[in-house]
Structure formats: C-alpha cells, structure tokens
C-alpha cells in the first residue's frame, strides 16, 4: 500500500505545484501596479478546454478579445453585426470582476473589402466612408457602452519610418480619419478610455510618427487616454533601453501606457518578420522550428531573464503603465505558433501547454514581490 501511496502523493504534490495552485497569481501580485490581461478567443469559450476559463479568472483581471471585436468578425457584412462571441467575453469578464478592453475599431487588417466600396464595388467617397465608420463605431461601442474600460480606437496607423501607413482609411478619408474615429468613439461612450495602439512603436523612428498623432488630438481637444505598445517581442529585440525610453516619452505627454499584446518569441525568425504586420508570412522550414521536443534550459533561462528585466522596467514606470496584456493564455494558444511561419512550436508566454507555471512566471511574480 505504502509503495503506491507515496509515489501517488508525490505526483499529486508535483501536479499542484506546477498547475497554478501557488497562492499568488499574476493579477494579485501586480495589484496596485497595473492590470494584467490576456487575450480570449473562441476556443477558450467553447468549453473544449475546461481548464481555460477558471484559469483565466484566477490569473488575470482584464481581458481583450483576440479576434471577436474586429470588423470582419463583429460586422462581417453591411448591416449585419455578430455580437455573440464578444458578448460572451464581456459577460464572463463581468461575472468575474474583470475589466474588458475593446479591440479594435479602425485597422487596415481584418477589415473586409466591402467596407471601402459601395454596392457596385466602386470605391466610397470620403463622406460615405466617414458615415460608415461612424455607424460602425456607434453601433459597436454603443452596444458595450459602460461595459468596456477602454477601446483601441486606431491600430497600426504608422509605418516603421514614422510616416502614416498607406491604408484605405488614409487614402479615402485623408489624415483626419483618426480624429474622426476618436470623436465617434467618444460620442458613443463618453466614459470609455480611448487608445492609439501599434507594434514597434517603442522604436525611435516609429515613435516619432506616433507622438504627433497624440499631440494633434490633444491640441484639438479630442479625447485620447493612452498609447498601447503591442509588445510582440523577441529574445534579442527590442533593446530594453528603448522600451524604457518610449514609456517615459509617452508618459510625458500625459498618456497612460499599456503593453497590450505581450509575448516573447523564442524561435529563430528573420528580422524582416519582426513586428506584427499580419499579412507578412514565410514558408515553414524545419530549421526554423528547432524546439518541437521541448525548450532547452539555456533558452528557458534567456526567456526568464528577459521577462524579469521587462517587468522591472514596467514596475519602474508603474505610475504611467496601467495594464500589461499577454497575447494568449498559454504557449499552446499563442498565435506565434502559426505566425509569421505556420506550424511551429513556440514558447512565448508564462504558462506552458499544460498550464504549468514556467520559470518566467515565477520571475515576473518575484519582480513585484521585491518591491512590496
């Protein structure tokens, strides 16, 4: 009997200690500093992974819909809105006392072509597109009025060199499309926070394009509360000093700063695919997928150190940083398994594929505990 019982108890203890039974959680450890969020998708809500939702409620205090509120999902055809999945996310958040982030209102990706065309397929006029944008924002933001803490109003409007991205929004409406989007969002929910969100906007050149957008809105008295830095990062990039400096610079404009889509890619990836332009992809190659059997200790350590260093910087700026959202629940759910190269096994988050707490998780918790 003893022979069976002792290993069984040992296994149980190991299971407990690796499955998040530790008293502390991310959201508890960072209480008083900033919100901790995750991206929720259809798979979590479907019930096929019964661990997902309780785990999310335990570890996080804010949620972003990974796809459910994007134009192509929530407004797939003219006049047809699909709120079902997004509603379930908001209901879940409210039941569990979590904040909801609205993602996203104006973007060049995941926006259907019809948005820019009339029923005959001709390009819309400026006025017609503005009317369509206003209708979309009023309908979506209005639907969640009072239930969403803040909206990513405009996503990824700036190129790497700081110039405005050449999107249909810019081409048809002109430079003031962003002003209009922020105005419409504020009309639809006067209490919601409004954000500009982008990737690589910690980098100096891109930052130099984002800052005038913020200043322009401010000078016209148009509400903007914060800047989201997506944080689709890598083991070797960006330089932590750049992150540090960019938070300081956005904060100096009076902006709340959020890391809105955080993960750290550990796989070999050509630098031209750094960032998060989702239309850029590359074909699968075995040489770019080296850790199928598991993450080597040396890489695990690099990941852990990088997360620790990052959270040290974020804590240093905790008067400005209001939220850090991880882009995915655990490694198995990360979009980095399939983008920019499909079919890889990546390890970019704090929880492994069985909800085990990775060394990076403990390191992130430790950073908060150090300053208690």
Rg, Å, the chain Cα set: 21
Concerning whether 156 is annotated as a catalytic residue, the answer is yes
Q: Please, what's the b/e burial string for 226-252 (b: 16 or more CB within 10 A of its CB; e: otherwise)?
A: bbbbbbbbbbeebeeeebbebbebbbe
Number of residues that bind ligand XIL (CB under 6 A): 8
Identify the residue among 25, 29, 34, 66 touching ligand XIL (CB under 6 A).
66
Q: Which is nearer to ligand XIL, 245 or 277 (CB)?
A: 277
Identify the residue among 61, 62, 201, 230 touching ligand XIL (CB under 6 A).
230
Question: What SS3 state is found at 155?
Answer: strand
Query: 39 preceded by cis ω (within 30°)?
Result: no
Question: What SS3 state is found at 196?
Answer: strand
- Burial zone of 75 (CB within 10 Å; 0-12 exposed, 13-18 middle, 19+ buried): buried
Which is catalytic among the residues 156, 193, 203, 367?
Answer: 156
Distance CA 309, CA 366 (A): 11
Query: Using the 8-state DSSP alphabet, how is residue 190 labeled?
Result: T
- Tell me the closest approach of the beta carbon of residue 369 to ligand XIL, in angstroms: 30
Q: Which is nearer to ligand XIL, 157 or 368 (CB)?
A: 157
Beta-bridge partners for 326: 38, 262
For ligand XIL, what does the binding mask look like between residues 20 and 59, x meaning CB under 6 A?
----------------------------------------
- Tell me the closest approach of the beta carbon of residue 236 to ligand XIL, in angstroms: 20
- Residue 277 burial (CB count, 10 A): 17
- Tell me the closest approach of the beta carbon of residue 7 to ligand XIL, in angstroms: 41
Identify the residue among 67, 99, 201, 304 touching ligand XIL (CB under 6 A).
67
Helix (H), strand (E) counts: the chain: 13, 9
Which is catalytic among the residues 193, 202, 203, 261?
Answer: 261
Categorise residue 169: left if φ over 0, alpha if ψ from -120 to 50, beta otherwise: alpha
Q: Which is nearer to ligand XIL, 61 or 155 (CB)?
A: 155
- Tell me the closest approach of the beta carbon of residue 329 to ligand XIL, in angstroms: 12
Hey, what are 122's tokens?
A: 């001709």
**Under rule CB under 6 A, residue 99 binds ligand XIL:** no
For ligand XIL, what does the binding mask look like between residues 155 and 174, x meaning CB under 6 A?
x-------------------
Q: Which is nearer to ligand XIL, 38 or 304 (CB)?
A: 38
Q: Which is nearer to ligand XIL, 253 or 278 (CB)?
A: 278
Query: 178 preceded by cis ω (within 30°)?
Result: no
Query: Looking at beta carbons, which pairs linking 47-52 to residues 24 or more positions away fall under 8 Å?
Result: 51/355, 52/329
Concerning whether 261 is annotated as a catalytic residue, the answer is yes
Considering only residues 249-288, where is the footprint of ligand XIL by CB under 6 A? Answer: 261, 276, 278
Query: 238 preceded by cis ω (within 30°)?
Result: yes
Q: Which is nearer to ligand XIL, 25 or 230 (CB)?
A: 230
Catalytic residue positions, numbered: 156, 261
The residues that touch ligand XIL, with contacts defined as CB under 6 A, are 66-67, 155, 230, 261, 276, 278, 335
């Amino acid at each position: 009997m003893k022979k069976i019982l002792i290993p069984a108890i040992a296994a149980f203890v190991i299971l407990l200690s690796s499955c998040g039974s530790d008293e502390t959680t991310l959201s508890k450890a960072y209480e008083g500093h900033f919100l901790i969020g995750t991206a929720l998708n259809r798979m979590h809500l479907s019930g096929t992974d019964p661990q997902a939702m309780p785990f999310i409620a335990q570890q996080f205090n804010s949620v972003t819909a990974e796809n459910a509120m994007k134009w192509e999902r929530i407004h797939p055809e003219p006049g047809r809105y699909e709120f079902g999945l997004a509603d379930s996310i908001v209901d879940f958040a409210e039941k569990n006392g979590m904040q909801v982030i609205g993602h996203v209102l104006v973007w060049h990706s995941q926006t259907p072509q019809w948005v820019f065309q009339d029923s005959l397929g001709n390009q819309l006029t400026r006025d017609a597109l503005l009317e369509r944008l206003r209708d979309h924002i009023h309908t979506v933001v209005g639907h969640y009025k009072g239930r969403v803490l803040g909206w990513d109003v405009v996503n990824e409007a700036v190129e790497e060199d700081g110039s405005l991205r050449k999107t249909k929004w810019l081409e048809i409406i002109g430079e003031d499309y962003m002003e209009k989007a922020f105005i419409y969002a504020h009309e639809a929910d006067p209490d919601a926070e409004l954000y500009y969100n982008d990737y690589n906007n910690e980098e100096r050149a891109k930052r130099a394009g984002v800052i005038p957008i913020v200043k322009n809105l401010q000078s016209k008295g148009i509400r903007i509360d914060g800047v989201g830095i997506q944080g689709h990062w890598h083991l070797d990039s960006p330089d932590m000093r750049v992150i540090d400096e960019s938070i300081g610079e956005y904060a100096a404009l009076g902006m709340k700063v959020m890391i809105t889509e955080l993960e750290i890619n550990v796989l070999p990836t050509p630098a031209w695919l750094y960032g998060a332009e989702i239309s850029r992809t590359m074909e699968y190659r075995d040489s770019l997928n080296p850790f199928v059997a598991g993450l080597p200790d040396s890489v695990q350590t690099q990941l852990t150190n990088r997360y620790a260093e990052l959270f040290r910087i974020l804590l240093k700026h905790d008067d400005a940083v209001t939220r850090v959202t991880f882009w995915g629940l655990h490694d198995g759910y990360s979009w980095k398994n399939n983008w920019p190269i499909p079919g890889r096994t990546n390890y970019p988050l704090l929880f492994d594929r069985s909800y085990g707490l990775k060394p990076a998780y403990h390191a992130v918790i430790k950073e908060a505990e150090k300053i208690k």
